[in-house]
A and B are shown apart, each in its own frame.
Chain A
Amino acid sequence: MTEIRWHSRAGQGAVSGAKGLGDVVATTGKEVQAFALYGSAKRGAALRAYNRISDEQIFNHAKFMNPDYVLVIDPALAFSDNIEVNEKPETKYIITTHLSKADLIAGIPALHGKEDRVYVVDCVQISLDTIKRSMPNSPMLGAFVKISGMFELDYFLENMKRVLKKFPQKIIDANMEAITRAYNEVN
């Protein structure tokens, strides 16, 4: 079982990101779960979304998890939310930021000493450059594909095209570019 927790603000697409990831993972024959936890559904409110991925049917419906991956798609939440809550010694963090990894970790005491499992990528800037608005969920998927090694990039892109097929071609192309850039830039 692989468990993923997304930290996001409503409107940044974490729920769609989690569902899109689930959709692609399911095509590999795995069982998936994608859900979100939010209070009043206002744009800008902090929320958490979750994925479970397993080779067998997923019976655990609890919100509680010890995540294998923590994906932070809002730069400020890395500082203000408890992104390390219920972590494991091997939990990997992928964080959206314009800062260098060293500068980011220096500002977040909870990440001190975890340099080898913290990864950074500027999903906001990537989405502004490609999708032309702040939509950091797609680039985060690219970064996750790279860090998790769960898929080949090409396989993931092909399947994401199917998930996004209701959108105009221009939007699909921009998302593919965003995923690819984040895959290459995450470090």
Chain B
Amino acid sequence: MAVEFEVNKREVWDGNYAASQALRQADVDVVVAYPITPSTPIVENYGSYVGNGYIDGEFIMVESEHAAMSGCIGASASGGRVATATSSQGFALMVEVLYQASGMRLPIILNVVNRALAAPLNVRGDHADMYLGRDSGWIQFAAFNAQEAYDLALMAFRVAEHHDVRLPTMIHQDGFITSHTAQNVYPLSNEVAAKFVGVIDPIDDMLDFSKPVTYGAQTEEDWHFEHKAKQHKAIIDSVPVIDAIFAEFKELSGREYKRIESYDMEDADVCVIGLGTTVESARVAAKEMRAEGVKAGVVAIRCFRPFPYEELRTVLENCKSIAVTDRSSPGGAMGAFYNEVAAAMMTSQSRPLVTNYIYGLGGRDISIENLKEIFKEQQANADAGYITTDIQQFTNLRGPKLSFFKTDRS
């Protein structure tokens, strides 16, 4: 029997500590890990909870992230509740195995503390690793602060393990800006959290010897396509389950989550749309813009996969100019997030102006002033009725202004 770990109604936790407390309260059976900055404390803390008797689980240290996710697959296929954490290069090394996990429909929880990909070597936060996972067949939730990293980590188990879903799920938080920043966190009591998450009810677990099953079978052109189509459909079909679990969590905690979040959008002419901590900073900037007479709003993607195309069109319907912020090097194209927003708005009635801002790579700061500049450019676009700048711009970059791609107005 595990020893009770004392939690107060109000704690001051950083994002890593918050996520590790969620793993403890969810009574995770197995964590297989190869720690990497800045996500190290998540798995390290889990290990200490096991070592100190706060949880009846197993912490397995392996030799690489590839092995870590492989171990998670074994433990999950055996019927256990399984989680781990990683960042950056570790995530990159895990990628091959991420596809194995989702293809085998194993409900593994991965806490991703977003960090830039080398070279140059950098431990700070950007979304390069998050984007690397976007086609891997996992559900992806984005947290914007430590509280949300905790809440979403709890909810992720419910979503992933739900029998109508059965998909591995990532919770993303910004490296250092969330993971190493202590803020007020209001956790659930151990009892309430345990009741909410419940006990895993595995399907086709390999330890059920009365019903032998195979994982990772080979399919060639005869069935591979059907399997992948079914997997894609499962991600799309997870929407009502996610919504129901968000609603249940709101009843329990008073904290409301939506797959797409919007702030001050009711009458907004211009908006910034983003992911991660920048969403919250943009809310501060939008308030200041409103005081200056600009009808500014903020939209945020909580659920990056499945991507909320239809809801996005609804919330942006009356907006005139939209700045899509990408915290990842676009590598010779528009930002990936921009492409998705632009694709959604291309098929809307209103066809608003959509621009792309690359910012914050390797943890480069984005200030309220930087965000206000972006809002001001959107207002100029809205007033002119066309995009007055290049479509893609780099924000808070040293050296001369860098921007690409022009609107064809001929």
Residues of A within 8 A of B (CB): 18-19, 22-23, 26-27, 31-36, 57-64
Contact = CB atoms under 8 A, between A and B. Distances in A.
B377 interface: no
Contacts of A27: 10
B283 A61 contact: no
Interface string B210-253: 00000000000000000000000000000000000000000000
Quick one: which of B182, B284, B369 has the most chain A CB within 10 A?
A: B182
A26 B367 contact: no
Contacts of B283: 59
Contacts of B365: 62-64
A32 B184 CA distance: 6
B181 A61 contact: yes
B176 A60 contact: no
B366 interface: yes
A22 B184 CA distance: 9
A59 B182 contact: no
Nearest to A30: B184
A31 B182 contact: no
Given A19-B12, A60-B281, A33 B180 contact: no
Contact of A34 (B10, B181, B366, B367): B181
Contacts of B367: 62, 64
Given A22-B12, A62-B365, A63-B365, A32 B183 contact: yes
B72 interface: no
B278 interface: yes
Contacts of A23: 12, 182
Contact of A58 (B178, B183, B368, B369): B183
B121 to A, nearest CB: 10
A124 B108 CA distance: 49
A26 B12 contact: yes
A34 B227 CA distance: 47
A64 B180 CA distance: 16
Nearest to B278: A61
B280 interface: yes
A33 B284 contact: no
B12 A34 contact: yes
Contacts of B301: none
A61 B12 contact: no
The 9 closest A-B pairs by CB, nearest first: A61-B277, A59-B280, A35-B181, A64-B367, A34-B182, A62-B367, A63-B365, A23-B12, A26-B12
Given A22-B182, A27-B10, 19 more contacts: A23-B182, A26-B12, A31-B184, A33-B182, A34-B12, A35-B176, A35-B181, A58-B183, A59-B280, A59-B281, A59-B283, A60-B280, A61-B174, A61-B177, A61-B277, A62-B281, A62-B367, A62-B368, A64-B369
Contacts of A26: 10, 12, 184
B173 to A, nearest CB: 11
A65 to B, nearest CB: 9
30 contacts: A18-B182, A22-B12, A22-B182, A23-B12, A23-B182, A26-B10, A26-B12, A26-B184, A27-B10, A32-B12, A32-B184, A33-B183, A34-B182, A35-B176, A35-B177, A35-B182, A57-B184, A59-B280, A59-B284, A60-B280, A61-B174, A61-B177, A61-B178, A61-B278, A61-B280, A61-B281, A62-B281, A62-B367, A64-B367, A64-B368
Contacts of A18: 182
A59 B298 CA distance: 13
A137 to B, nearest CB: 15
Nearest to A33: B183
Contact of B366 (A35, A36, A62): A62
Nearest to A25: B12
A87 to B, nearest CB: 16
A183 to B, nearest CB: 22
B277 to A, nearest CB: 4
A33 B281 contact: no
Quick one: which of A22, A61, A62, A64 has the most chain B CB within 10 A?
A: A61
Contact of A60 (B174, B178, B180, B368): B368
Interface string B339-373: 00000000000000000000000000111110000
A31 B147 CA distance: 12
Given A35-B176, A61-B177, A62-B368, A19 B182 contact: yes
Nearest to A59: B280
Interface string B171-206: 000101110111110000000000000000000000
Contacts of A22: 12, 182-183
Nearest to B283: A59
Contacts of B180: 35-36
